Amino acid sequence: MAADKKIGAYICKGCGLGERLDCNQLEKIAKTEGKVALAKQHDFLCSQAGVEMIKADISEGVTHVMIGACSRRAKTEAFNFTGVAIARANLREGVIWVRPDTDDARETTQEMANDYIRMSCAEIKFMTQPETSGEQGLIKHILVVGGGITGMTSALEAAKAGYNVSIVEKQAQLGGAAGQLFKRIPVRAPYQHPADTGIAELATAIAASDKIKVYLNATVTRTSGAPGRFSADISQESGSTVTEQFGAIIQASGFKPYDMNQLTEFNPDNADVVDQLGLEALAKAANGAAIKRPSDGKAVQNVLFIQCAGQRSQKPGHLSYCSGHCCSTSIKQAMYFKQYNPDIQTTVLFTDLRTPGAGGENFYRSGQDQCVTFLKGIAESVTPGKTGPKVKFDNLLLNETVEQEFDLVVLATGMVPNSGPNPYLEQELALAKEKKETEKVVVLEQELVFEKSKASILNLDYRQGTDMPQLVHGFTDSHFICFPYETRRTGIYTAGPVRRPMDIGQAMDDATGAALKAIQAIENSALGRAAHPRSGDLSYPKFRKEGCTQCKRCTVECPFGAINEDEQRYPQFNEARCRRCGTCMGACPVRVISFDNYSVDSVGQAIKAVDIPDEFSEKPRILVLACENDAYPALDMAAMNRSEYSAFVRVIPVRCLGSVNTIWLTDALNSGYDGAVLLGCQKGDNYQCHFVKGSEMAHYRMSKIGDTLTQLNLETERVETHEVAITDIQRIPEIINNMAKTIEKIGMSPFKF
Amino acid sequence: MTEVVATNQTIVVVGGGISGMTAALEAAECGKQVILIEKNPSLGGRVSQLYKYFPKLCFPTCGLEINLRRIKANPNISLLTLAEVTAVSGQAGDYSLTVKIAPRYINSNCTACGACADAVESTFPNEFNYNLNQRKGAYLPFNMAYPQRFVIDPRMIGTADADKAKAACKFEAIDLDMQPEELKLKAGAIIWATGWQPYDANKIQPYGYDRFANVITSVELERMMDPQGPTGGKLVRPSDGKEAKDIAFIQCAGSRDRNYLKHCSRICCMASLKQSTYPREKFGAEGKSTIYYIDIRAIDRFEDFYQKVQADTTVNFIKSKVASITLDKATQNPILNGNDLEKSGTGKDMRYSNAHDLVVLAVGMQPSVDFKAMNLGLSVNDEGFIELDPANGGQFAAGCASDALDVNRAVQNATASALRAIQVINQVANAEG
């Protein structure tokens, strides 16, 4: 503890704390055991007077404020002091609200409060106000990879906000898939007719902008750095490579149409069977005149659109998902015919017509008004007929199988995301093999062949792979419903159909949102502020190089690929890529990683500060390490409902269960704790962990804690790890109480001193 | 008196649901000054009233906690609750807003200790639970309510109970003389994130929501499933408290219908698919769900979830627009009448009259605010949503003010709106050097 630290301890007597607890004793403990410079009580600490009292002390030199009052989640506006470290002992939600107000309970309740004061005093000694590292950069320049409508929109929207953009496009011109369209689905009321694609307009605006640079026939061949200081090599077909510096990156690499040649049942070799982009080419060629079929140039009189061709299907090689836009696209394409000649027969063969929202339904209705025929049915096959492709289909409403010839058949095939190789597939495969999940292994092995065949989009020089992690089906989407842009690569955002199947309207919105996130990454990384979910956090992992054994656990376990290795194979933390979850700190076997305000010591010393009654006291001590995002709020809410739980627990909030270093458990058990409960978020495929892998890593590490317990000759039941949710307001107190019962059953730990 | 600093470089976000919180946070985390205005006493909006999200079946309060923490930590956001915008004038980069603030009767001294609620007797319908139960006249709207500050129901003012509440407060937090206020604010850009309201099920007369206790709405079912909700998380029917093991879901209840809402509300198919997991969650294989639908609109990767539900033997799908609901008086079971379209052409009778324990109407989504009536100079479509139109100047919609959207898309849209507002602010800043 540095000499210039001056700790002030403040104990609130409001909300019943003064009546239920002996606050003089708390003050004394803070002084004598907590060794704080000054300790004060206040009847109503969060009042203006209380806050002023603390502020006056801060101006008199207090650098560290320990508040013994309500939960750290409450009264945050009042207890908001800049420039000092703050620790909060949760005496209200953590003690008096979860304990009965009875004479019998008074002693153990007081002990609980005493310990929380000890713990917070111990914690704060090891906290310092975080400061930025100084490795920040401010480059107001965004790299947009992909020059389709998503990339073009991102570039223009960012430029409109005053930021420079470079677009890197593989093709010889901007426009991407949207550039191949004749018209697009309308995005404005009254949503009745196909609209201009808008590509020409966007291209003109980009050409006119002095903030946007365009590289055509170009790819990104290397990306390094971090938000605020990315460096990218842009290589052009001509062979020249330029290196530019960027603050953030948007990947708008779009989609490829599913290869219709794989749908052999639909006679893909037939010239008059086309996919949706094929029809666009025909419509573009016709330019408002009669659309002619490819085989013989006959003006089409009768066209069938087969929806969900090779998608929403579990057949091998098909896409299991829905591409979202195809129903509206087929309606639009039917209108191409109807608007030239209303007598042309246009039939859409569908199972579910999916045109959601106000615009979607209006467009569908407009299709009906224009006499497009919608038929609920499933196409079985297409074969060459006498006058054109012959389609055999089941009419699901009349329950009959029909064979009919059309001049032209359009297959509504799906979107395949144009993502780079999945960086985690090999890891997943290895894990599936380890767990002997044979079915999954087969699937993953096939996927791996496919992924390895893909070209990298970003060529990141990251330790954890060249490209963006994927969610499912190759899409680089976020797993979070509330946070759709949160990727696992800080400062790199994906937008458009590479993220999720979507139509142009949604892609343009998505592009604009991604531009916001890119700008935000630039502005925050320049200030050393963390990105979501610990937005604004200035702390970052620091490490003691002398102690590092180069075991690489931190570089492997970081859920965000933030940590690289330097030339000497030491971890390189890349502060701006870090999300501050502390998973590296939890992983480090030699405990050389810490944050200024959160470290192995700050938690470890709090654990050790607890007073451990002797073996015969019948007062066990149970350590609860609770994820501050879900488990801890749930405990607060249990307290608001006045649920009771054991007075023998001592709860410590952690940034993420992934930050839990096993030394905390070992030390706790060695120093006489009788049990420990770890509360984290749901892990696995449907994870709810805000740091993606933190909870999973913690569970994995804790699966080995049994060995430690056995070595200590302790029962393995003494440590439990649970997946909980913020809604487990009733369940978490039960988990805690069950542990208390378990301890009662197996007895106290012999490690009391 | 409420004090906020606002200039023509301030972004005003109207609505504190997930879209408004997102728009406010995303802009504030870019360094912009934001005033967030919420009509209710606390933030959270409709999603805080949901039990689970589709397709992950995770809990909305999980994301709410993160967003609240972001708000608590961000000095760029000023929050006004119980506040409504009543008038707007000016143009992009220079708006003037009139904001009415209703009295909470509780000031910032409140510690949320709950003594006032303990002291009062009077109760009122609990709007957070769609009036399915009662709450006290001094109350915290829900466990995660932020600001974490109690509210005195205005209907209690002038009663002895109000005085009891005041007497119980040790912190001089209760001010029964608090008056409505009117604020004038400047703003460079305005984001309308006013969200949606469930379509009034009473208007769908053939379904008898107003007549049959065991016909409820999808949003009410969400509250019933919440362990903190009106039934303590029990899935029981309102008429007799019997376990609702056999539930019918009626899709497009008020949507895709010229008589009610013309548009498709987008979320209802996925919401019912999600809710079809609830009987199973509560009753295992004994729980049964039947979904009456026109099209199942589970677009993009939501299709995975649809396929998972289809594989669940407790869930049945009937392609039919239900014509009417009648009541079996003896059992109180609602009976659904209609034609099963998939039986056409089979020679079998298409008509059905199916009894269920409980019927859930997948009610449509309509904008909370009548933007046309507010005369804001906005381009508003026939469905009442704000269009993305350059003519709107520095005013933008976010989330369900722009269209019927699911949470993920609402957040996506709100993030985009934050940038649109920032563009206006940055132009103002540049012009002012």
Residue A2 has pLDDT above 60, yes or no: no
pLDDT (tens digit per residue) in A600-614: 999 999 999 999 999
Sort B179 into a burial class: Cβ within 10 Å, 0-12 / 13-18 / 19+.
exposed
Cα–chain center distance at A254: 20
More confident residue, A231 or A443: A231
Interface of B with A in 137-156 (CB under 8 A): 140, 143-144, 147-148
CATH class of B10-102+180-195+368-431: alpha beta
Report the alpha-carbon distance of residue A93 to residue B69 in Å, rounded.
18
Residue B344 has pLDDT above 90, yes or no: no
Report the alpha-carbon distance of residue A354 to residue A348 in Å, rounded.
12
- Looking at residue A398, its pLDDT comes to 87
pLDDT (tens digit per residue) in A381-400: 999 999 999 999 999 888 89
**B50 band by pLDDT with thresholds 50, 70 and 90:** very high
Are A530 and A578 in contact by the 8 Å Cβ rule? The answer is yes
Residue type, A141: H
Residue B203 has pLDDT above 90, yes or no: yes
Cα–chain center distance at A534: 12
3-state class (DSSP) for residue B251: strand
In the predicted model, what is the mean pLDDT of residues B23-28? Answer: 98
Helices B407-431, B18-28: axis angle to 10 degrees equals 40
Residue A289 has pLDDT above 90, yes or no: yes
pLDDT (tens digit per residue) in B105-117: 999 999 999 999 9
Are B51 and B226 in contact by the 8 Å Cβ rule? The answer is yes
Token reading at B20? 């408004």
pLDDT (tens digit per residue) in B358-391: 999 999 999 999 999 999 999 999 999 999 999 9
3-state class (DSSP) for residue A204: helix
Q: Is A209 on the interface with B (CB under 8 A)?
A: no
- Looking at residue B155, its pLDDT comes to 98
Provide CATH code, domain B199-364. 3.50.50.60
pLDDT (tens digit per residue) in A72-120: 999 999 999 999 999 999 999 999 999 999 999 999 999 999 999 999 9
Residue A653 has pLDDT above 50, yes or no: yes
A659: which DSSP letter? G
Residue A342 has pLDDT above 90, yes or no: yes
Report the alpha-carbon distance of residue A350 to residue A356 in Å, rounded.
15
Name beta bridge partners: B134: B125
- Looking at residue A134, its pLDDT comes to 78
- Looking at residue A92, its pLDDT comes to 98
Q: With residue A350 as reference, give the H or E element that holds it.
A: strand A345-350
Q: Which residue in B59, B381, B422 is closest to A726 by CB distance?
A: B59
User: Which domains occur in chain A, in start order?
Assistant: 1-129 (3.40.50.2300), 141-254+455-526 (3.50.50.60), 262-283+295-417 (3.50.50.60)
DSSP string, A173-189: SSBGGGGG-SSB---ST
- In B169-285, the DSSP E strands lie at 181-187, 189-192, 196-198, 215-217, 246-253
ipTM for this model: 0.97
Count of residues in chain A = 753
Average pLDDT, chain A: 96
B145 CA: distance to closest CA in chain A (Å): 11
Are A272 and A295 in contact by the 8 Å Cβ rule? The answer is yes
**Would the pTM count as exceeding 0.80?**
yes
> Exposure pattern of B323-339 as b/e (b: 16+ CB <10 Å)?
eebbbeeeebbbbbebb
Cα–chain center distance at B31: 28
Question: Do B30 and A76 count as a contact with CB atoms less than 8 A apart?
Answer: no
- Looking at residue A325, its pLDDT comes to 97
A533 CA: distance to closest CA in chain B (Å): 7
- Looking at residue A3, its pLDDT comes to 54
- Looking at residue B342, its pLDDT comes to 86
B369: which DSSP letter? S
Question: Do B404 and A515 count as a contact with CB atoms less than 8 A apart?
Answer: no
In the predicted model, what is the mean pLDDT of residues B242-260? Answer: 96
Residue A6 has pLDDT above 90, yes or no: yes
In the predicted model, what is the mean pLDDT of residues B122-143? Answer: 98
| pLDDT more than 90, % of chain A | 95
Q: Is B382 on the interface with A (CB under 8 A)?
A: yes
In the predicted model, what is the mean pLDDT of residues A261-282? Answer: 98
- Looking at residue B398, its pLDDT comes to 98
Question: Do A484 and B412 count as a contact with CB atoms less than 8 A apart?
Answer: yes
Using alpha carbons only, what angle is made at residue A393 by residues A387 and A397, rounded to the nearest 5 degrees? 130
- Looking at residue A1, its pLDDT comes to 44
Are A431 and A700 in contact by the 8 Å Cβ rule? The answer is no
Q: Give backbone dihedrals phi and psi of A746, rounded to 5 degrees, phi first.
A: -85, -10
**CB neighbours of A29 closer than 8 A, spacing ≥ 6?**
A114, A117, A118, A121
- Looking at residue B345, its pLDDT comes to 80
Q: Which residue in B53, B62, B300 is closest to A502 by CB distance?
A: B300
**A132 band by pLDDT with thresholds 50, 70 and 90:** confident
More confident residue, A132 or B20: B20
Listed in order, the ranges of chain B carrying CATH 3.50.50.60 are 10-102+180-195+368-431, 199-364
| pLDDT more than 90, % of chain B | 96
Name the residue among A398, A395, A458, A396 with its Cα closest to residue A422: A458
Interface of B with A in 223-242 (CB under 8 A): 226-228
In the predicted model, what is the mean pLDDT of residues A657-670? Answer: 96
